[in-house]
Each structure stands twice: as C-alpha cells, then as structure tokens.
C-alpha cells in the first residue's frame, strides 16, 4: 500500500472505532442506526481498499492468451 492509501485506511479505521464507541452510549433509535451505518460503511470501504491493493499482474515476460 502506498503512504496515502495507508493514511486513508487508518482514517477509516478511526471512523469505525469512534462510531462503535458512540454506539455504546446511544439509546435505540434513528441516531443509533445512523451511527451504526457509519461504522459499517467505514469497515466496508477499508475492506474494499485492502482488496483493491491486492492486484495480480502478469509477469513482464508473459503474453496475454488469446481465446481459441
């Protein structure tokens, strides 16, 4: 991961952690549901960022295969 991507992932982790900490103190209701949604979205974005970092590239000497 690049430094920028690492920083972004760390910020998403902070958002998720802060939202999860807030959930402990919030009563059931719309605000709690929205904060929970923020935590879930931050986790999903971090996961997508991690998956996007895993790219399988062909080796420099290989050529693309053509369908038969």
Look at residue 48 and tell me if it is in a domain: yes
Look at residue 67 and tell me if it is in a domain: no
Residue range 13-58, pLDDT digits in tens: 999 999 999 999 999 999 999 999 999 999 999 999 888 777 655 5
Look at residue 8 and tell me if it is in a domain: yes
Look at residue 59 and tell me if it is in a domain: no
Its pTM surpasses 0.85: no
Q: DSSP letters of the chain?
A: --HHHHHHHHHHHHHHHHHHHHHHHPPSSHHHHHHHHHHHHHHHHHHHHHHHH------TT--PPPP-
- The range of the structural domain enclosing residue 22 comes to 3-53
**Which two structure tokens, joined as six digits, stand for 7?**
């920083």
Look at residue 61 and tell me if it is in a domain: no
Look at residue 35 and tell me if it is in a domain: yes
Q: What is the pLDDT of residue 59?
A: 63
Q: What is the pLDDT of residue 33?
A: 97
Look at residue 18 and tell me if it is in a domain: yes
Look at residue 65 and tell me if it is in a domain: no
Q: What is the pLDDT of residue 22?
A: 95
CA distance 20 to 17: 5
Q: In total, how many domains does the chain have?
A: 1
Q: What is the pLDDT of residue 2?
A: 83
């Amino acid at each position: 991961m690049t430094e920028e991507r690492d920083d972004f992932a760390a910020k998403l982790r902070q958002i998720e952690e802060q939202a999860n900490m807030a959930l402990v103190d919030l009563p059931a209701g719309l605000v709690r549901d929205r904060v929970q949604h923020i935590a879930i979205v931050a986790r999903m974005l971090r996961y997508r960022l991690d998956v996007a970092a895993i790219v399988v590239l062909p080796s420099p000497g290989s050529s693309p295969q053509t369908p038969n």
